[in-house]
Structure 1
Amino acid sequence: MSVPDELRQTDARRPRHPRRPSGDAQHVTLAPRLASVILTSALLCYLGITALNIAGTDLDPLPRTICLICLVVIFVLQLRHSRPGAERAPIAHKAASLTAQALLTYLPLMIFDSHWGAMAGFLSGSLLLLLPPRLAWPLYGTVGLSMLAPPAIEGRPLLDSLYLLQSTLLTGLVIYGLSRLSALVQQVHNTKNELARMAVTKERLRISRNLHDLLGYSLSAITLKTELIHRLVLTHPQRAKAEVEDVLALSRQSLADVRRVSRGLRDMSLQAELDSVSGLLKDTDVDVTTRVELDELAPEVDTVMAAVLREAITNLLRHSRAATCSIEAVQRDGRVRLVVGNDGVDPVYRDTSQHSGAGLDNLRMRLRSVSGRLVVEESDGTFLLIAEAPVSVERDHRGTAEEADLWETEEPTVLPQSGPAA
């Protein structure tokens, strides 16, 4: 039995326990529930105050029963109005529920007098929750002013009317505020979960891009050098031995790159990559011409441009039969420009492996991260890749109009129109 099999069996025998969420995770999960509980408790407290006021009167059992039924219906309606997204309900539904709540607010006043006045606060809060502000606030004030009438009709002092007006407006604001707060807590909770999912997706994409950019070039180089060793091993054993050492070095570097992926894309140097790819292309019988005019680049820009060069050469090795390749790396007026072209475009000679075409999309994303751009041109058997970026991402990346015109009018190197290599 192999060691991995033993580990898997040991892990299978280990008892499984559900993983408990951390304290922060529990707090985030309970927050929407707590907000909902606070809102419901506040509604029940207001309803309880009204029920106690009615219970303190000398009314018969039948009116008290009617009071309880009305309170239950108002509670259900208010929960419906206070739920998140209630304002997006159809207009007919909102009109029907608000009409029902208005009838349950004003009709019982004929039986319970001012003791029922607290229910007007529920109606004013529902108006604020369901209607547009320019309509809701005037109606909210109208409901509050309407509560001046019951105490006056009963012959009570003016202070009782003012108290009922103030309590109605305050209750409406409390219900409106708690309902909005509960909806906001739920929205923040949902947004946090969505951000977590996006972070996981972003991390997966980062690992995918890094593996592609780091290993695509190395594995393509290992494949070509292995084919070269296969041809040289009998006729030129010493050169084959040197190529084997290169393959070992590439494989070790690939292993180190995989280990670094978890920490992000390692820093790369455009100048170092230029030296590396030039030697590789010469080993594969590709005629290489280079033009390099580089000064110091910002580390992030240097890494991105090196990744662009790697991907361009990887595409050349995997998707073409190039006989010549031209590489330009020019730095001028605060910008760096990389141009890679070859003459080996061949529609028949393509890499048919799955997901073989994600490299250029990855490079466009990397260049956008440093305010750069990527242009790809393919015509008459030639392939041209142009990448531009500011030397430093800390400066104004837009550049001046003169700089943009200068880059646009400069012509890239034209490759000779030779046939594909045999």
Structure 2
Amino acid sequence: MSQAAYLVGAAGAGALLVSLGVTYALTLRIRRLRLERERALSRAYEGFARDMHDLVGHWLWLASIRGELAHRRAAGDGPLREDLEEVLRAVRQAAHSVRNLSAAGHRISFPGEVARAKVLIEGFGAYCSVRVDVDELPEAVSTALGAVVREGVTNMLRHSRVKRCAVELVEQGGRLRLTVVNDGAPRRETSAPGSGVGNLRHRLEDLGGTVRASGGKDGWFTLIAELPDNFSE
């Protein structure tokens, strides 16, 4: 083989190797792009599912509360009361299905519950003030305090003729202190907290916290939860 032929063969082999290298690099790049696209789509689907959960859950909860109030007011109308019972059962079943469908990917959070509480309460024509002096909360604390806000708002909308309420989270004396207060509470509700408060008490005890509820003769109802502030570090 002449030197010229050898050089041509070597150049051809080199070109083939370069071509194979480029092809391999492009293949890897395409695979990475596909994986990135799949991850982006997955994140988009998850975000859409969370948004749908919050939106549908919000309106189902509101419909349930409105339905309970209408059911209570229809005590003297038998047929209407029966119709409302059917509506309430359907709404509650739908709400239960939504919760089960997204339970794995949806968690209660304090910021989320405060935002939802303000929308719900103002949707009922009442005024709601919010004060939060704590920047960030660990997930367990955020979940626990979010449950307190949800319970407080649920009770005030179901059992009170609320016109004004306030949600406040501050750090005082080495502890986180959450206060949920509202007016319009009937006296019978101020003397005996329900099972919901008892469930909150167990939840906060696991974090070294406490929760208590009290009502006054003036119709104001107060729900207070406290936790050691070392959870906020």
TM-score w.r.t. structure 2 length?
0.55
In 2, are the aligned partners of 1:304 and 1:366 still within 8 Å (CA)? yes
In 2, are the aligned partners of 1:273 and 1:310 still within 8 Å (CA)? yes
Question: Out of 206, 209, 213, which is 1:372 matched to?
Answer: 209
Q: Matched residue of 1:389: which SS?
A: strand
Match of 2:199 in 1: 362
Question: Out of 145, 149, 158, which is 1:318 matched to?
Answer: 158
Partner Cα distance (2:119, 2:140) in 1: 25
| 1:390 Cα deviation after fit | 2.6
Where in structure 1 are there 5+ consecutive unaligned residues?
1-215, 229-249, 351-355, 396-422
Match of 2:221 in 1: 383
- 2:162 maps to amino acid: A
| 1:226 Cα deviation after fit | 6.5
Question: Out of 89, 110, 126, which is 1:270 matched to?
Answer: 110
Matching of residue 294 in structure 1 with residue 134 in structure 2 = yes
Partner Cα distance (1:282, 1:294) in 2: 24
Structure 1 stretches of 4+ with a deviation exceeding 4 A read 216-220, 224-228, 250-254, 347-350, 391-395
Partner Cα distance (2:63, 2:228) in 1: 33
- 1:389 maps to amino acid: L
| 1:297 Cα deviation after fit | 0.9
Partner Cα distance (2:65, 2:214) in 1: 26
In 1, are the aligned partners of 2:208 and 2:227 still within 8 Å (CA)? yes
CA gap of 1:269–1:391, structure 2 versus 1, over 3 A, is farther
Aligned positions of 1:43-82 closer than 5 A: none
Partner Cα distance (1:383, 1:258) in 2: 32
CA gap of 1:224–1:267, structure 2 versus 1, over 3 A, is closer
Let me know the Cα RMSD of the aligned residues. 3.6
| 1:285 Cα deviation after fit | 1.0
Q: Matched residue of 1:387: which SS?
A: strand
- 1:325 maps to amino acid: C
In 2, are the aligned partners of 1:220 and 1:317 still within 8 Å (CA)? no
Partner Cα distance (1:341, 1:333) in 2: 21
CA gap of 1:359–1:349, structure 2 versus 1, over 3 A, is closer
| 1:344 Cα deviation after fit | 1.2
CA gap of 1:372–1:218, structure 2 versus 1, over 3 A, is farther
| 1:373 Cα deviation after fit | 0.4
| 1:388 Cα deviation after fit | 0.7
- 2:97 maps to amino acid: L
CA gap of 1:285–1:394, structure 2 versus 1, over 3 A, is closer
| 1:330 Cα deviation after fit | 1.6
Partner Cα distance (1:276, 1:307) in 2: 12
| 1:256 Cα deviation after fit | 3.9
Match of 1:255 in 2: 97
- 2:197 maps to amino acid: L
Partner Cα distance (2:125, 2:61) in 1: 15
Match of 1:339 in 2: 179
Map Cα deviations across residues 146-173 of structure 1 (whole Å, 9 max, x no partner). xxxxxxxxxxxxxxxxxxxxxxxxxxxx
In 1, are the aligned partners of 2:171 and 2:177 still within 8 Å (CA)? yes
Aligned positions of 1:12-411 closer than 5 A: 220-224=61-65, 255-259=97-101, 266-331=106-171, 335-347=175-187, 357-380=194-217, 381-393=219-231
CA gap of 1:251–1:325, structure 2 versus 1, over 3 A, is farther
| 1:335 Cα deviation after fit | 3.2
TM-score w.r.t. structure 1 length?
0.32
Q: Matched residue of 1:295: which SS?
A: coil
Partner Cα distance (1:382, 1:284) in 2: 18
Partner Cα distance (1:219, 1:335) in 2: 35
| 1:394 Cα deviation after fit | 9.6
With CA pairs under 8 Å and 6+ residues apart, which has the higher RCO, 1 or 2? 2
Question: Which of these two proteins has the greater Rg computed from alpha carbons?
Answer: 1
CA gap of 1:377–1:348, structure 2 versus 1, over 3 A, is closer
In 2, are the aligned partners of 1:340 and 1:386 still within 8 Å (CA)? yes
Partner Cα distance (1:293, 1:225) in 2: 32
Q: Matched residue of 2:185: which SS?
A: coil
In 1, are the aligned partners of 2:65 and 2:158 still within 8 Å (CA)? no
Identity %: 34
In 2, are the aligned partners of 1:321 and 1:349 still within 8 Å (CA)? no
